Structure 1
Amino acid sequence: MKPDFSPDVLRQRLTSLFPGELIDDLAREREVVERHRTLDVTMFVWTLIAGFAAGGEARSIAAYRRSYNIVTGHGLCPSSFYDRFTEDVADLLGDLLEHAVEEVAVPHHLSPAFERFRDVVAVDATIVRLHRFLSAFPATHEGVSGLQLYLVHHVTEQSVISAEITDKRTHESTLFKTGAWMRGRLFLLDLGFFKYRRFALIDENDGFFVSRLKRSANPLITEELKEWRGRAIPLVGKRVFDVVDRLDREEIDVTVEVSVERRPYDGNQSVTPKEFRVVGVRDEDADDGYRLYITNLPSEEFRLGEVNALYRARWSVELLFRELKSRYELGAFQSEKEHIVRIQVLAALLTLVVSRALLRVFVDQASECQDGATFPPERWATTFRSVAQLVLLEIAASYGYLRPNLAEFLYREAQQPAPSRSTLLVEVTAELCSGF
């Protein structure tokens, strides 16, 4: 069986991702359409997505306008097009992202360890340094700015569950919300989210977690879950980091007791004991000779090696950030206005949604054809970026726009905006002639 490479396959997937009716309805709710009746808001949104994917000069407002005009045949002038970049448009893109986060799943083979959970979720944030100072995105140093992009990433389906944009000074840990939604999910957390109260709430909401163990925590060992023969150092009653540098064993698997500070109530704050599991795998590159994790995964169901392997999946969100920064140049913004920067960040995330949605089409094709084709995400991103403007043409065709007249567009766009203004060559020629 050969893959189906007809244009309709991609067009159908793209238009089903963000249906024109959906964009129009959301645009009316945000009053984007009422203010700009001459604008085809569906093609405007797709122009922002394709333009961000293309990167470089294609990401300027002037380049967005040229792309929009050529695929639609419209003739919006620069000032009129610039007026379209409003806070309402930023809110519209946020609505679309919220709608589409479940559409980016890329199925792949899951290990039996992953299949035991409803979802495997990696939570992390990254800092995007901005070139200019924006008061809405202050950084820790005076006179500079930076925004923080917080992602909840579905590891097993390679999708984005939720995203938030804040200033750099907001601590990533405060963005993590606990509650009943955690039931059956496994959360992979780095040290930025380390907090005993958070671990307790995940556990009490019937969720699971694996986190790196913070050295300053140093919990008390109450039980050894793996016996060692010979003259092994006894661990019960000792604190993890007080003994770990004296151990020769290849693995550590113990129960620890920690103190959980509960939310203050009526002026009082209670502290309750809670037991978790600490596991360690020898690693000579680690400061203490071990990679240490704290978790609530039961030892009778999850061997130490499985815990270590599960945590390694957290790198998927790091790779997602790297893809956004290296392949899509997240942070290369050319504006000092908060809402335009926000539009660009949301366009980046929508670009990722579209890219992954198309990737899923080809993963499915390869699976049906059984031809062994694989698509590394960063290689896919590089390829997608190079054809982003062609994708925009496919979208325009699906909405009934004719193939653009390139010669007409070049004649209109490349000519001198003000006919009375002389070009450099004309001015130089005039000066030379005046000298004779």
Structure 2
Amino acid sequence: MIDENDGYFVSRLKRSSNPVVTDELREWRGRAIPLEGKKIFDVVDDLCRKYIDVEVEIEFDRREYAGTQSRDTKRFRVVGVRNEDADDYHLYITNLSREEFLPEDLATIYRCRWEVELLFRELKTQYRLDEFDTTKKHVVEILLYAALLSLVVSRELLSLVIEHADDALVFPPERWAATFRSHAQLILYRLSGYLGYSPPPLLDRLIADAQKIHKQRPVLQEQLATAIKPAAEA
């Protein structure tokens, strides 16, 4: 699908794939360990170079056709960026060219891509955008705008919290999203007071919300009582 649409991708290389290196795209001086012909994860722990930049061959299943499924191979670029703190490599597989993208560029692209993934996951888990209880277009649009506006407010408030919190504190985005959602009513109440909006008294609000929507429309119990009464009298 990527080739058919002239697309590009960057993804973390899973250890379970462990592809064979077919070519080294970067030369190293001295006693560099040769990688060609070896499986990448079999040798990566023995390396200490800053970057890995190689071509690998991936084996994959083709789409099933006429009841049969065949396997094929394709070559991709694998880049490794050393994480000095963890003393290991972050490995990425991509079809982006070496001439245009350096290893550190691919690591940056992946971090940005991951932020987008987290954003969509937050929208689905915290704002329920993965499912709608309506098929009406205007209702769906309202829910989308409400979720996006809530997300903007959440992020702005997070920036304010980070600004005033201790520098050593860390606020994971997903945990913050859940915290913001659980305190949403309190935040709205405080915000309305700050903006000078006075909500109606609680008792008046309860009376307004609990009464019949239409005074001329009997509730279900009254309808049932009316329907059953003649039969009972008979």
Q: Does TM, normalized by the shorter one, top 0.5?
A: yes
**Counterpart position of 1:13:** none
- State the identity as a percent: 44
Aligned residues: 177
Pair 1:229-2:24 in alignment: no
Distance across 2 between alignment mates of 1:408 and 1:248: 67
Task: Give the counterpart letter for 1:304 in structure 2.
Answer: P
Pair 1:291-2:90 in alignment: yes
Q: Displacement of 1:379 after TM fit?
A: 4.7
Q: Deviations over 1:226-246 (max 9, x none)?
A: 111001011111110111111
Q: Which of 184, 188, 192 is the matching residue for 1:387?
A: 188
Pair 1:250-2:53 in alignment: no
Alignment RMSD: 4.2
Task: Give the counterpart letter for 2:22 in structure 1.
Answer: T
Task: Give the counterpart letter for 1:307 in structure 2.
Answer: L
Give matches, 1:329-340, under 5 Å.
none
TM-score normalized by the length of structure 1: 0.34
Q: Which of 307, 312, 319 is the matching residue for 2:111?
A: 312
**Consecutive unaligned residues in structure 1, runs of 5 or more:** 1-200, 331-340, 363-374, 392-402, 418-436
Q: Deviations over 1:349-396 (max 9, x none)?
A: 55322335xx5xx9xxxxxxxxxxxx64745885994338989xxxxx
Q: Displacement of 1:257 after TM fit?
A: 1.1
Task: Give the counterpart letter for 1:272 in structure 2.
Answer: D
Q: Displacement of 1:415 after TM fit?
A: 10
Change (3 A) 1:204 1:342: closer
Pair 1:352-2:152 in alignment: no
Q: Which of 259, 271, 274 is the matching residue for 2:74?
A: 274
Task: Give the counterpart letter for 1:413 in structure 2.
Answer: I
C-alpha contact 1:203 1:296 (8 A) present in aligned 2 = no
Task: Give the counterpart letter for 1:354 in structure 2.
Answer: L
Distance across 2 between alignment mates of 1:206 and 1:262: 19
Change (3 A) 1:242 1:411: closer
Change (3 A) 1:414 1:349: closer
Give matches, 1:31-430, under 5 Å.
201-284=1-84, 289-313=88-112, 314-319=114-119, 321-322=121-122, 342-343=132-133, 350-355=145-150, 359=152, 376=156, 378-379=158-159, 382=180, 385=184, 386-387=187-188, 406=200, 410=204, 413=207
TM-score normalized by the length of structure 2: 0.60
Task: Give the counterpart letter for 2:207 in structure 1.
Answer: E
Distance across 2 between alignment mates of 1:309 and 1:405: 47
C-alpha contact 1:323 1:378 (8 A) present in aligned 2 = no
Task: Give the counterpart letter for 2:146 in structure 1.
Answer: T
C-alpha contact 2:127 2:147 (8 A) present in aligned 1 = no
Change (3 A) 1:321 1:272: closer
Task: Give the counterpart letter for 1:294 in structure 2.
Answer: I
Distance across 2 between alignment mates of 1:305 and 1:405: 53
Greater Rg over alpha carbons, structure: 2
Q: Displacement of 1:282 after TM fit?
A: 1.1
Task: Give the counterpart letter for 1:351 in structure 2.
Answer: A
